């Protein structure tokens, strides 16, 4: 039985292998964590399948992960009796790792290298944990037999650009991964761990995999007293004292403690950090955790973690939720989207609900009253956790995950007020500090009726935006909203504590009354400018926003903002151009010059140029792109020359 084939790795896969081997060498021990984690996942999948097909287990019902070290041949093996893989699954999951986000992993690893912080958690986050074996091995052999299959498969590679795959024999289901360890080639490497040593293996398992739910076992050799009937006798016919013999016994290396079921006061910070690392493959300790045991009509236990750093895949379409669902310690599923809303997808942890149906499916979960109740309560408790964080810790959280949390403002009506309290923004007065909406309201001037904000993609540009000139003059604070998601936030959050949110670029700000005499003086010019610019603007009028700039563009109260239009265009959406209002600062000296040109010859080319220049200045002032850069350069050049 062979059917042997040789395949080549794709170029990016070989590049990935080189990066893993060379970049993460100082964290070599993570290979064992990843292989144990894969073995645990394989057993989880089998246990779940057995809920609906008990016969799939056969006579092999005692789950375990076995580590075998061979010092003489320099190999280490990790074996499980989980669900195993078919030939097709091996090619899909191991042979090509096309499903593992290779390009994303490479980009993240390169970024990590640039920042000078090579992160071992990248391996786990991007699902390429199996390949961490090549950090310590110059050849890896995988033998696997799928549950219910008659034949097994052998995959082998030296990580050198190719792999072989063939049919083989294996007596039982599950997977064996055999690592042929590299020879140490330098004095520095000689000082590193010997992964065939019992002590080293025990240390790594305790450090990284103590919480795995299945026994991680290893055969160990021990000295024990020789039984009397086998002992050597002295001249008096009595057993000689101190006789021992070598005995090989299978010992369990991990505690298998379901940390979430323990009393929360008994779990140490170190244990929390390691369990979080086990769940998330994140090398950084969590920022905060929440350990709940709910009793009553619905009982469940939850252990939840808030990451200190935003996961790399947070905004990717293939992103996963971080919650694993259990029922009486029996694994049901990971990536459990039903237990938390999308805007809390970064939360990692475990929920153990004993009242769930073990035959649960995603369709049943969506309709299950128990799940809906758990989701509602957990969401409220997590939002409360955020609200009770210290200012410094919350600032750290918000800098990383604020944009995701904001999604809840327009998707979670029930918790909108709580989420509004959690929002933080820089303002025209706060400098580098983000402030809450509550603090903004508390600092409003006595004559200020509305909360002013402006949206855009750059804080520096927003701070110096022409639309804010009169607001700043009056001492009114303006919220600077520089995340794309803020456009959806302000559509849903129209007021806070009875104060309406008002865009600084839309509608009439009613800051000052327009000088009617001055307006009448410029009325004919404004009408003419509207005619010249009729393809671009819907009106031309005196501005109550501007103090120093000559012109700006504004929208009506219910118009789409310029930034929203920019976002939608960038996403590829086709949409009609929105005509906006050209507002002019009638006190600016340029307007007097244009008025003089108009009164001298309203058909002159120079007047038309200057009218278009005013529009271009307004467009550039808000970060827009002008239609005719060459004309703009010519007019500005002529002005400079004159």
What is the arithmetic mean of pLDDT over 485-502?
95
> Is residue 255's pLDDT more than 70?
yes
Asked whether residue 129 is marked as a ligand-binding residue, the answer is yes
Q: Is beta strand 137-145 parallel, antiparallel or unpaired with respect to 174-181?
A: antiparallel
pLDDT-wise least confident of 51-60, 87-96, 542-551, 557-566: 87-96
Give the pLDDT of residue 126: 41
> Is residue 236's pLDDT more than 60?
yes
Number of DSSP helices (H) and strands (E) in the chain, helices first: 22, 23
> Is residue 241's pLDDT more than 90?
no
What value, to the nearest 5°, has the Cα angle with vertex 214 and ends 210 and 220?
75
Helix (H) or strand (E) holding 300, with range, is: strand 300-306
pLDDT-wise least confident of 101-110, 389-398, 517-526: 101-110
Instruction: Give span(s): CATH 1.20.120.790, the chain.
Output: 516-557+569-641
Give the pLDDT of residue 517: 75
What is the arithmetic mean of pLDDT over 262-286?
88
> Is residue 328's pLDDT more than 90?
no
Take residue 178 and report the two structure tokens written for it.
């055999």
Name the CATH superfamily, with its identifier, for domain 516-557+569-641.
Answer: Heat shock protein 90, C-terminal domain (1.20.120.790)
Asked whether residue 560 is marked as a ligand-binding residue, the answer is no
Give the pLDDT of residue 245: 86
What is the arithmetic mean of pLDDT over 156-183?
92
> Is residue 483's pLDDT more than 90?
yes
Distance CA 456, CA 571 (A): 16
Higher local confidence (pLDDT), 331 or 212: 212
Give the pLDDT of residue 455: 94
Q: Tell me if 325 sits within 8 A of 303, measured CB to CB.
A: no
Asked whether residue 126 is marked as a ligand-binding residue, the answer is yes
Asked whether residue 275 is marked as a ligand-binding residue, the answer is no
Give the pLDDT of residue 395: 96
> Is residue 99's pLDDT more than 60?
no
What is the arithmetic mean of pLDDT over 509-535?
86
Instruction: Give per-residue pLDDT as tens, 404-446.
Output: 999 999 999 999 999 999 999 999 999 999 999 999 999 999 9
pLDDT-wise least confident of 160-174, 484-498, 573-587: 573-587
Give the pLDDT of residue 252: 94
Asked whether residue 127 is marked as a ligand-binding residue, the answer is yes
Give the pLDDT of residue 566: 83
> Is residue 318's pLDDT more than 70?
no
Mean pLDDT of all residues in the chain?
A: 86
Beta bridge partners of 8: 162
Closest CA to 261 of 309, 315, 302: 302
Closest CA to 459 of 505, 501, 504, 426: 426
Distance CA 622, CA 591 (A): 20
> Is residue 624's pLDDT more than 50?
yes
Rounded to 10 degrees, the C-alpha dihedral 218/219/225/230 comes to 160
The number of beta carbons lying within 10 Å of the beta carbon of residue 369 is: 8
What is the arithmetic mean of pLDDT over 28-56?
87
Asked whether residue 1 is marked as a ligand-binding residue, the answer is no
Asked whether residue 444 is marked as a ligand-binding residue, the answer is no
- Sheet-wide strand order for 348-352: 288-294, 300-306, 348-352, 322-327, 330-333
CATH topology of domain 5-252: Heat Shock Protein 90 (3.30.565)
Q: Tell me if 467 sits within 8 A of 505, measured CB to CB.
A: yes
Instruction: Give per-residue pLDDT as tens, 498-518.
Output: 999 999 998 888 777 777 778
Asked whether residue 93 is marked as a ligand-binding residue, the answer is yes
Give the pLDDT of residue 363: 60
Give the pLDDT of residue 100: 43
Asked whether residue 362 is marked as a ligand-binding residue, the answer is yes
Beta bridge partners of 168: 152
> Is residue 181's pLDDT more than 90?
yes
Asked whether residue 128 is marked as a ligand-binding residue, the answer is yes
Asked whether residue 125 is marked as a ligand-binding residue, the answer is yes
Instruction: Give span(s): CATH 3.30.565.10, the chain.
Output: 5-252
Asked whether residue 223 is marked as a ligand-binding residue, the answer is no
Asked whether residue 175 is marked as a ligand-binding residue, the answer is yes
In CATH, what is the architecture of 423-503?
Answer: 3-Layer(aba) Sandwich (3.40)
> Is residue 1's pLDDT more than 80?
no
What is the arithmetic mean of pLDDT over 1-20?
73
CATH number of the 259-399 domain = 3.30.230.80
Give the pLDDT of residue 127: 47
Q: Within 13 Å, how many C-alpha atoms sit on residue 565's CB side?
A: 15
pLDDT tier for residue 295 given thresholds of 50, 70 and 90: confident
Instruction: Give span(s): CATH 3.30.230.80, the chain.
Output: 259-399
Beta bridge partners of 326: 331, 352
> Is residue 187's pLDDT more than 70?
no
> Is residue 85's pLDDT more than 80?
yes
pLDDT tier for residue 111 given thresholds of 50, 70 and 90: low
């Amino acid at each position: 039985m062979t059917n042997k084939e040789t395949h080549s790795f794709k170029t990016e896969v070989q590049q990935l292998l080189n990066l893993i081997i060379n970049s993460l060498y100082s964290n070599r021990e993570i290979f064992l964590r990843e292989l144990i984690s894969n073995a645990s996942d394989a057993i989880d999948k089998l246990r779940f399948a057995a809920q609906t097909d008990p016969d799939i287990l056969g006579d092999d019902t005692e789950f375990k992960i076995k580590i075998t070290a061979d010092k003489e041949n320099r190999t280490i093996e990790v074996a499980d009796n989980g669900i195993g893989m078919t030939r097709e699954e091996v090619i899909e999951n191991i042979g090509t790792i096309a499903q593992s986000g290779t390009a994303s992993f490479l980009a993240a690893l390169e970024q990590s290298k640039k920042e000078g912080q090579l992160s071992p958690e990248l391996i786990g986050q991007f699902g390429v944990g199996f390949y961490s074996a090549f950090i310590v091995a110059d050849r890896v052999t995988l033998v696997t037999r799928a549950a219910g299959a008659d034949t097994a498969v052998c995959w082998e590679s030296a990580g050198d650009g190719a792999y072989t795959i063939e049919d083989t024999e294996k007596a039982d289901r599950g997977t064996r991964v055999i690592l042929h360890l590299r020879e140490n080639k330098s004095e520095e490497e000689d000082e590193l761990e010997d992964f065939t040593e019992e002590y080293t293996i025990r240390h790594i398992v305790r450090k990284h995999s103590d919480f795995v739910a299945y026994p991680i076992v290893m055969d160990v050799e021990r000295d024990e007293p020789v039984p009397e009937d086998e002992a050597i006798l002295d001249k008096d016919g009595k057993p000689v004292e101190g006789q021992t013999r070598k005995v090989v016994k299978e010992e369990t290396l991990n505690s298998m403690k379901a940390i979430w079921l323990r009393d929360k006061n008994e779990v140490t910070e170190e244990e929390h950090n390691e369990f979080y690392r086990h769940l998330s493959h994140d090398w950084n300790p969590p920022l905060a955790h929440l350990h709940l045991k709910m009793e009553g009509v619905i009982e469940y236990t939850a252990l939840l973690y808030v990451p200190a750093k935003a996961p790399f895949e947070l905004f990717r379409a293939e992103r996963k939720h971080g919650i694993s669902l259990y029922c009486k310690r029996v694994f049901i599923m990971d990536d459990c989207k039903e237990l938390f809303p999308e805007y809390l997808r970064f939360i990692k942890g475990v929920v153990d609900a004993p009242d769930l149906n073990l035959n649960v499916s995603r369709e049943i979960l969506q309709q299950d009253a128990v799940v809906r109740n758990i989701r509602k309560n957990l969401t409220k408790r997590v939002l409360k956790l955020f609200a009770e964080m210290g200012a410094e810790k919350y600032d750290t959280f918000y800098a990383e995950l604020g944009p995701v949390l904001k999604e809840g403002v327009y998707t979670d009506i029930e918790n909108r007020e709580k989420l509004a309290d959690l929002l933080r923004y820089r303002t025209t007065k706060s400098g580098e500090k983000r402030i809450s909406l509550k603090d903004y309201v508390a600092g409003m001037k006595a004559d200020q009726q509305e909360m002013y904000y402006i949206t855009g993609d750059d804080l520096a540009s927003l701070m110096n935006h022409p639309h804010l000139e009169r607001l700043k003059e009056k001492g009114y604070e303006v919220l600077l909203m520089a995340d794309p998601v803020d456009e959806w936030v302000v559509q849903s959050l129209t007021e806070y504590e009875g104060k309406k949110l008002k865009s600084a670029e839309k509608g009439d700000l009613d800051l000052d009354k327009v000088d009617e005499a001055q307006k009448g003086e410029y009325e004919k010019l404004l009408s003419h400018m509207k005619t010249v610019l009729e393809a671009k603007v819907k009106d031309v009028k005196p501005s109550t926003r501007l103090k120093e700039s000559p012109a700006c563009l504004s929208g009506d109260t219910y118009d789409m903002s310029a930034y929203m239009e920019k976002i939608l265009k960038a996403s590829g959406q086709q949409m009609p151009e929105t005509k906006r209002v050209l507002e002019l600062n009638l006190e600016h000296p340029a307007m007097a010059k244009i008025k003089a040109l108009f009164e001298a010859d309203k058909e002159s080319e120079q007047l038309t140029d200057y009218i278009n220049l005013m529009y271009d200045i307004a467009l550039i002032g808000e970060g827009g792109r002008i239609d005719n850069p060459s004309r703009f350069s010519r007019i500005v050049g002529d002005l400079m020359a004159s």
